[in-house]
Amino acid sequence: MSAQNSSGPGRPRLPPGLDLLWGRRERGARGPRPGLSVDAIVAAAVGIADAEGLDGVSMARVAKELGFTTMSLYRHVASKDELLQLMWNASALGVETLTLAGDRWRERLRSWALFQREMIDRHPWITQMPMAAPPLAPNSLTFIELGLATLDDTGLPDAEKLRIVGLLSSYTLSEARMAHDAARAARAAAAAGPPVAGPGWTFESLLRELVDVRTYPRLHAIAWSDAIGDNPSGFDESEEFAHGIDVILDGVAALIARHAGRPEPSAPSR
């Protein structure tokens, strides 16, 4: 690449991708034709991923989408791994202007978690991204900072606040991953042709088929409970996700009370 690392004397060289995102490396300026830029490359890659999933993204495919050669892209983006980092950052564009609903820490933190899920649902390919380390792109850290700010008046130590934000993020990503993996599997099955004869299985209906009362008494009770109903199509995923957020926030409320030396609060009615 023609771009140089501009970390400066005494400044550590950041890993590839992060150096570009944090302005420690000049963006490539030379290409076979004017008009190609990092922003254009990332926007095209995000568009492909939104439409087809992360498997549809390659340097060659992005180049074709933009009308350039693959080698032209490498003047601006060093590798596909670097492109993925740039895409992750782009998925959170606008987060710096996000306004969270609510006046109290719980309302605001709940709004923060639900916004993260909405962001993933707009770009389901996020759930296919490799996660060797926490995201460190500028937009990711801005979003974390916003989550930490919801806990400013709780009296919790800063390290506890970071753990809480990390827990909510991990839960949100995990739940979204399961939901979107299931959706992708359903689409693949539909594309494969007519299903074999038999019921359309859900987790709940499979429980009823597989668990017997003597071996799995607790699972059996859940599978046949009124909470599921007589003909389950499955729990509502969005309601289950929101319930999980509320349970985590119940724990945060108890942690705040414990640090303040107060009796732990009862869970709010939902």
Is residue 251 predicted with pLDDT exceeding 60? Answer: yes
Give the pair of three-digit tokens for residue 188: 């693949």
Q: For residue 19, what are the contacts with CB-CB under 8 A and spacing of at least 6? A: 5, 7, 13, 25
Ranking 96-110, 186-200, 231-245 by mean pLDDT, the lowest is 186-200
Span 168-194, average pLDDT: 85
Q: How far apart are CA 241 and CA 245, in angstroms?
A: 6
**What amino acid occupies position 12?**
P
Going by pLDDT thresholds of 50, 70 and 90, the confidence category of residue 80 is very high
CATH architecture group of domain 18-90: Orthogonal Bundle (1.10)
Give the best-scoring range by mean pLDDT among 91-100, 116-125, 189-198. Answer: 116-125
Q: What confidence score (pLDDT) does residue 190 get? A: 77
pLDDT greater at residue 210 or residue 16: 210
Give the pair of three-digit tokens for residue 111: 């709004």
Residue whose entry in the numeric block shows the structure tokens 């190609």: 36
Give the pair of three-digit tokens for residue 96: 């710096």
Q: What confidence score (pLDDT) does residue 186 get? A: 76
* Residue boundaries of the structural domains of the chain: 18-90, 95-195+236-260
Q: How far apart are CA 57 and CA 84, in angstroms?
A: 9
Span 139-157, average pLDDT: 95
Q: What confidence score (pLDDT) does residue 5 get? A: 46
The 8-class DSSP code of residue 224 comes to T
Q: What is the pLDDT of residues 183-214, one digit of tens each?
A: 888 777 777 776 555 556 677 788 888 999 99
The 8-class DSSP code of residue 132 comes to S
For the whole model, what pTM was predicted? 0.81
Q: Is 195 exposed, middle or buried (0-12, 13-18, 19+ CB in 10 A)?
A: exposed
First to last CA, the chain: 56
Superfamily in which the 95-195+236-260 domain is placed by CATH: Tetracycline Repressor, domain 2 (1.10.357.10)
State the SS3 of 54-108.
HHHCCHHHHHHHHCCCHHHHCCCCCCHHHHHHHHHHHCCCCHHHCCCCCCCHHHH
At residue 61, φ and ψ (nearest 5 deg) are -65, -40
Percentage of the chain modeled with pLDDT above 90: 53
Span 20-38, average pLDDT: 69
Picking from 115, 104, 114, 99, the residue whose alpha carbon sits closest to that of residue 154 is 104
- In the chain, alpha helices (H): 18-21, 38-52, 59-66, 70-73, 80-90, 105-122, 138-149, 158-191, 203-210, 217-223, 237-260
Cα angle vertex 242, ends 240, 243, to 5°?
60
pLDDT greater at residue 257 or residue 226: 257
